Amino acid sequence: MNWKTDDTIAAIATPAGVGGIGVIRVSGPEAPAMVDRLFKPGGAKRLADAPSHLMLHGWLEKEGRTIDEVMVVHMKAPHSYTCEEVVEVHCHGGVMAMRSVLQLICDAGARPAEAGEFTFRAFLNGRLDLTQVEAVADLVRTDSRLGLQVSVNQLRGRLHDAIQEARDDLTQVAALVAASIDFPEEDVVFTQRGDCLARLAATRDRLAALLATAEQGRILRDGLVVAIVGKPNVGKSSLLNTLLKEERAIVTEIPGTTRDTLEETVDLGGLALRLIDTAGIRDTVDPIEREGVSRSRKAIGLADLTLLLLDGSEPLTGDDIRLLELVDPAKSVLVINKRDLMSRCEPEWVHRIGGQERVIISALTGLGITDLEEWIVGWALHGERPVVEAAMITNLRQQHAAQRALEAVLDAIAALENGAGEELLAVDLARALEALGDIVGETTAEDLLSRIFAEFCIGK
């Protein structure tokens, strides 16, 4: 990233489209002066004379021509999102109104902000660490209630605080090791050996507990990818519509209606489910249908969970058997559909498919859908209520860094217990501290920072 950090930037901070209010955010040393030259207050106070965070009513004008009626607020440094001088202009939310106000401010000297540049300045100025930066991005894009709660707690610094506690303990041990190296006659580490081991053990346990949250944290953050698969005309699209509670997919009695994957997201029990309705999987010579079948197979490989639909009103077919062999029993559930057409509670062939988890439903009438929804949530969360208020690892970057830190701490414990030299112990501690620094962004490489901020939208 080659962003300048000493100039003034501006961007539209609200989504594109028509709305009641649009917000243009301006950040940098010249932000108040730039807006003040354009702002004609409705009252006595000008922007420069107003207290911080006080909304002022007035108009934006250019060469005597009124551009829009606005509310303006000046957030004085360091009490702003970026810790810089920030001015927000609240104008009408039409596309042209927002673009006109932004262009007016840029004509006054501001530079159009890049995606994520406001948050980048907040990071550089110490207002946010890297876990909180990622939480900001997650808050913008989350599709679920639990994902929102996790992101808010990350933004409040839950993970940062847990990492800082671990760093504090490691720093104390590293200081004793450094003293032993500098003053070998004092033998500091030997005299404080019990305390050092206790601090390292506490750090080990803390990191192990954090790593245990990684799978659940990822699911709460990103949601669960669920592929709905089965042979043609088994009810996949009907199930998608029932779970979405809307007619999203075309449903007909003609086999092979769905030729491509269709993806939709629904909030289920607080989880974001990315449902993938796939083309029916069967042997076919139709080149278009064969491509749909190929994409269906890929969807199975990418999915966290596969719902394998079987027609409970008919005997098992060769296509069904091949699908049973294709899916991973640990990442799938058998959904026996068309309960409304079944003469018995279970089809007679159930005993032939072993003990794999199964739920019996009718996608047409909704019978058993609640059972299926509860099964999916229970499977995703391992039957436990997620403790979203606690510190939690929510992405692979954090997980890999925490794993490196734990491995270094385990090496440090072994070195201390085996009487290894202080220099080797110092190397292990430095590795652990560097890995923890990666999590919060103090030792993170610039190319990784670039990838993280590339995920942001303009205006944030």
CATH number of domain containing 195: 1.20.120.430
Which of 380, 405, 431 corresponds to the end of one domain?
380
What confidence tens digit (pLDDT) does each residue in 279-314 have? Answer: 655 555 455 555 555 667 777 778 899 999 999 888
Residue 458 within a domain: no
Same domain, 339 and 354: yes
Number of domains in the chain: 3
Same domain, 203 and 230: no
Please give the Cα distance from 265 to 452 (Å, whole number): 24
Residue 3 within a domain: no
Same domain, 401 and 373: no
Please give the Cα distance from 347 to 315 (Å, whole number): 8
Same domain, 288 and 308: yes
Which residue in this structure is represented by tokens 């207050």? 41
pLDDT band of 371, cuts 50, 70, 90:
very high
DSSP 20: S
DSSP of 344-378, one letter per residue? SSS-GGGGGGTT--EEE--TTT-TTHHHHHHHHHH
Same domain, 209 and 329: no
Residue 364 within a domain: yes
Burial 236-254 (b: 16+ CB within 10 A, else e): bbbbbbbbbeeebbebeee
Burial 82-103 (b: 16+ CB within 10 A, else e): bbbbbbbbbbbbeeebbebbbe
Residue 235 within a domain: yes
Cα separations in angstroms, 131 against 97, 158, 291, 317: 35, 9, 41, 50
Which of 129, 146, 179 corresponds to the end of one domain?
129
Same domain, 112 and 206: no
Same domain, 59 and 85: yes
Name the most confidently modeled range: 29-43, 276-290, 311-325: 29-43
Element at 75 (helix H, strand E): strand 65-75
Same domain, 365 and 318: yes
**Structural domain range at position 33:** 9-129
Record the tokens describing residue 8, joined without a space: 């003034």
Same domain, 227 and 201: no
Same domain, 313 and 227: yes
Record the tokens describing residue 7, joined without a space: 């100039």
Name the average pLDDT for the chain. Answer: 85
H-type helices in 232-343, by residue range? Answer: 236-244, 287-302, 318-326
Residue 446 within a domain: no
Name the most confidently modeled range: 44-48, 235-239, 344-348, 373-377: 373-377
Please give the Cα distance from 288 to 295 (Å, whole number): 11
Same domain, 105 and 145: no
Q: Which residue has the higher pLDDT, 187 or 269?
A: 269
Record the tokens describing residue 396, joined without a space: 């692979």
Record the tokens describing residue 129, joined without a space: 């660490």
Kindly report the pTM of this predicted structure.
Answer: 0.78
Same domain, 118 and 243: no
Which of 97, 114, 129 corresponds to the end of one domain?
129
